[in-house]
Amino acid sequence: MSLVAIFVVGSFVMRSLGVILNDLADRDFDRQVARTRMRPLASGALGPREAGAIAAVLLLAAAGLVLFLNPLAILLSPIAVVLAAAYPYAKRIIPIPQAVLGIAFGWGTVMAWAASRNTVEGPAWALFGATICWVIAYDTIYALQDRDDDRRVGVKSAAVWFGSYAWLAVGTCLAAMLGLLSLAGYLYAVRPLYYGILAVVGLCFVVQVLRLRRPVPPDIAFVLFKQHVWAGAIILLGIWASVW
């Protein structure tokens, strides 16, 4: 099985596992938030035991995929599970739980680098840092949908903590992300095309940040959040075009 296939399937499995763990931990909060009260666990359509059984199946599937990797990647894999399980509870402890989510997502980058090169070099850590900054940025935008409800029920969120300076925090994180992606490219000696693509994505981010300076209703926040799917796809294509 190719590494690309393993990590594509593994990302889907681990993301699904993370969603279940998050919804299990947050089901009481979700019942009090307009956007999430109809989630299966919050609404009672799915019970905790059934959700736990599905989570166990997904965890076994992830473990099976890991067995196809080299010893270094296998050694790093338990950290991914710990991070996925920790994120839901970070919302009860730290004001920017999005950072924990970013670390969880970014750890996949570290594992992929380890699996393909049997070491973790400087570019991998730069990509790891870029992922953390990116997740804080786009998940803060996502959290704007629930800011009033989160403040009312006591859930910690970057959107609540940053308040009226959310636009500045998002802009700073996106700038740091692009800087770290540039550093990764420099360390790996990619072609100049890569930096041009980052510049185009950066212009799109500037437009987003300027929009965030004004009040953002939930539907617009969701639109801005979804735009990051395209940003990620463009950056991925830029990486492929610059290293092949």
Q: Which two tokens stand for residue 103?
A: 């670390």
Between CA 21 and CA 111 the distance in angstroms is 21
Confidence (pLDDT) at 151: 84
pLDDT of residue 98: 93
pLDDT per position as a tens digit, 145-171: 988 888 888 888 899 999 999 999 999
How many other C-beta atoms can be found within 10 angstroms of the C-beta atom of residue 142?
20
Q: pLDDT per residue over 57-111, tens digit each?
A: 999 999 999 999 999 999 999 999 999 889 988 888 899 999 999 999 999 999 9
Neighbouring residues of 103: CB distance < 8 A, sequence distance ≥ 6: 83, 132
- Of the candidates 117, 95, 93, the one whose C-alpha atom is nearest the C-alpha of residue 163 is 95
Burial class (CB in 10 A: 0-12, 13-18, 19+), 68: middle
Q: Give the residue range(s) of CATH 1.20.120.1780 domains in the chain.
A: 93-243
Q: Compute CA distances 201 → 84, 138, 204, 231, whole Å.
A: 28, 14, 5, 6
- What does the pLDDT look like over 110-125, one tens digit per residue? 999 999 999 999 999 9
pLDDT at 203 over 80: yes
Q: 118's torsion region: left (phi>0), alpha (psi -120 to 50) or beta? A: left
**Residue 216, Cβ density class (10 Å: 0-12 exposed, 13-18 middle, ≥19 buried):** buried
Question: Residue 129: is its pLDDT beyond 90?
Answer: yes
CATH class of the region 93-243: mainly alpha
CA neighbours closer than 13 Å in the CB half-sphere of residue 199: 5
Q: What is the pTM of this model?
A: 0.93
Q: In the structure encoding, which two tokens stand for residue 191, read together?
A: 């072609």
